[in-house]
Amino acid sequence: MAKKKQKQQVKPVATKEEGNGLFDQLSSDVLDKLKETKKQLVAEEQAKEEERQAQLAFERKQKEKNKSFEELLDEYGYGGSKF
């Protein structure tokens, strides 16, 4: 008679053990560096957005400045009786 091989039971590894999460494993120095990097990226993103808004405002002013008399009349209308 052939003996049946017993399968070893594999216990699932607990991923949510107390104190064994990724956050807990990171040293405080690394965590501080990551937080600082995140702050820098957010600040850069805001600076880029502000620069883009300023560029758009400048372009609008330049476009308004370079309008012809005809374009200004079309846009604002003709109010000849005002004077």
Please write the tens of the pLDDT for every residue from 26-40: 788 888 899 999 999
The answer to whether residue 1 sits within a structural domain is no
**What residues of the chain score a pLDDT lower than 50?**
none
What's the predicted TM-score (pTM) here?
0.50
The pLDDT assigned to 1 comes to 54
Query: What single-letter amino acid sits at 19?
Result: G
The answer to whether residue 7 sits within a structural domain is no
The answer to whether residue 25 sits within a structural domain is no
The pLDDT assigned to 11 comes to 61
d(CA 75, CA 64): 11
Which range of residues forms the domain containing residue 65? 33-77
The pLDDT assigned to 13 comes to 55
The pLDDT assigned to 80 comes to 63
If one counts the domains in the chain, the total is 1
The answer to whether residues 75 and 67 touch, using CB atoms and an 8 Å cutoff, is yes
The answer to whether residue 59 sits within a structural domain is yes
The answer to whether residue 14 sits within a structural domain is no
The answer to whether residue 67 sits within a structural domain is yes
